[in-house]
Chains A and B, each alone.
Chain A
Amino acid sequence: ETGVTQSPTHLIKTRGQQVTLRCSSQSGHNTVSWYQQALGQGPQFIFQYYREEENGRGNFPPRFSGLQFPNYSSELNVNALELDDSALYLCASSLPGGSGNSPLHFGNGTRLTVT
């Protein structure tokens, strides 16, 4: 059984640029959630995808968008990067039905630095 994998592990971007982060879910998991974790903070919910549709969104602006593919892998796209977007971006997959009734399995995250 393969776990959740994320790429890249680290990324440095300039303010105003765009970034795409990728996530492969754990085998058998069809729900993917994305979280932003600033230094010293808890993970903040960005959005969740289930069956290729957005299935819930946190308090993040529209420049944060995502996709889920038929194989359940997912992308997080952030446009017009701001300095405050610097954080660890965590992808988590879960069993069918969403994270409400099953635990989240997190990947190792992508560390994004915006300069």
Chain B
Amino acid sequence: GQQVMQIPQYQHVQEGEDFTTYCNSSTTLSNIQWYKQRPGGHPVFLIQLVKSGEVKKQKRLTFQFGEAKKNSSLHITATQTTDVGTYFCAGMEYGNKLVFGAGTILRVKS
């Protein structure tokens, strides 16, 4: 079945450094979504990418969807302590089952 893999599993950065997490699917996706989960909280939707090669920005966050619609990335510029949490990608095949990656835990040292 469909698998979504995320790397790295964990990253600890100094405040002000950049951060990137990568997501790869075993199958072609109709869309990919990104979520953020703060410690002790629930996943919160960040963005959805649908088109091949799509790039979207939200302030310091940049999201990309690969040309083959099988991979994606989230890049945070100049991390802040408020960026702490686990970032999940979730891939949708042509159906209604959203498959989450295992997430990347981001810790920011001030």
Contacts and interface: CB of A to CB of B under 8 A. Distances in A.
Bind each other: yes
Contacts of B30: 100
A109 B42 contact: yes
Counting contact residues on chain A (CB < 8 A from B), the size range is: 20 to 34
Interface stretch (B54-62, B68-76, B91-99): B91-99
Interface in A50-109: 55-56, 58-59, 90, 98-101, 103-109
Given A43-B43, A106-B42, A98 B96 contact: yes
27 contacts: A33-B98, A35-B100, A41-B102, A42-B88, A42-B90, A42-B101, A43-B43, A43-B100, A44-B100, A45-B97, A45-B98, A48-B97, A56-B96, A56-B97, A98-B96, A99-B96, A99-B98, A100-B30, A104-B35, A104-B45, A104-B90, A105-B45, A106-B43, A106-B44, A108-B41, A108-B42, A109-B42
Interface of B: 1, 4, 6, 30-31, 33, 35, 41-45, 48, 88, 90, 92, 95-103
